[in-house]
Amino acid sequence: MISIPDEMRRKAAGLPAPCMEIETYTQPHTLSVILPSGDSWTIPWSRFARAHHHGEEVTLLFSDAKVVISGQNLKDVMAEAAQMRIDYLRTMPDTYRPVLPAEEPFISKIEVQFSQPR
């Protein structure tokens, strides 16, 4: 999770919460995906099978779900997924891209697909 001092610095600078939050002390049990529509999904990391990073897209495959993440600087998303340390993923409006640190992951789109009925 983002630390309180980091969150306060971001708010003071007028920046939103980051697109990706990781758990640095323990491995989270689930990945929470928050969509712009207000929908959110929680997927157990125990069902994680593999990930693929290609260009500006990362695909996370779970036993019954596929999460496709589009954006910029996604190599950290891939690295943290490999360690199953991502707690939250969320998109951010394109208007924030110019004000965020250049090296920070920027997620512009997330698609969640399930292979079994929900």
15-51 pLDDT, tens per residue?
A: 777 888 887 778 899 999 999 999 999 999 999 999 9
Pairing of β 86-90 and β 65-72: unpaired
Name the DSSP letter for residue 102.
T
Q: How confident is the model at residue 76 (pLDDT cuts 50, 70, 90)?
A: very high
- The reported pLDDT for the residue numbered 27 is 84
Identify the helix (H) or strand (E) that includes residue 6: helix 4-12
The pLDDT of residue 118 is above 60? no
Identify the helix (H) or strand (E) that includes residue 76: helix 75-82
The pLDDT of residue 85 is above 90? yes
Are 86 and 20 in contact by the 8 Å Cβ rule? The answer is yes
Residues 6+ positions from 106 with CB-CB distance below 8 Å: 19, 71, 72, 73, 92, 96, 97, 100
